[in-house]
Amino acid sequence: MNIFEEIKQSGDSWFSKIIGEPNGSPVAIRVMNNVTAPFHTHETTDEMFIVLSGKVFIDTDIGIQEFTSGQAHTVPAGTRHRARVEGRAELIIIGGN
């Protein structure tokens, strides 16, 4: 599988596809286009965001963090959060199950 080809073919405002589950943790490619995900919490697993392109905001109860292409961020288990994108962003998401 070529993840860049998969991403290129997504035209939706929200596209997410699990591409593997090493050691039981899902790994997904995701495209967000002018989308705000709902607030949620992963009680037992961390969730890692790797930004391939664009700008992603991660909102938590303690503030907002901004990440751009090439940056990564891990949201610890039990943290209420949401991802927010103005424009288009392409990501890899690990965990969060």
Among residues 80, 15, 25, 26, the alpha carbon closest in space to that of 52 is found at 15
Using a cut of 0.85, tell me whether the model's pTM lies above it: yes
Given a cut of 80, whether residue 12 has pLDDT beyond it is no
pLDDT by residue (tens digit) across 22-62?
Answer: 999 999 999 999 999 999 999 999 999 999 999 999 999 99
Six-digit token string for 41: 């919490």
- How would residue 10 be classed by pLDDT, with cut points 50, 70 and 90? confident
Among residues 66, 56, 41, 51, the alpha carbon closest in space to that of 7 is found at 51
- How would residue 9 be classed by pLDDT, with cut points 50, 70 and 90? confident
Looking at every residue in the chain, the average pLDDT score rounds to 94
**Mean pLDDT within 61-71:** 97
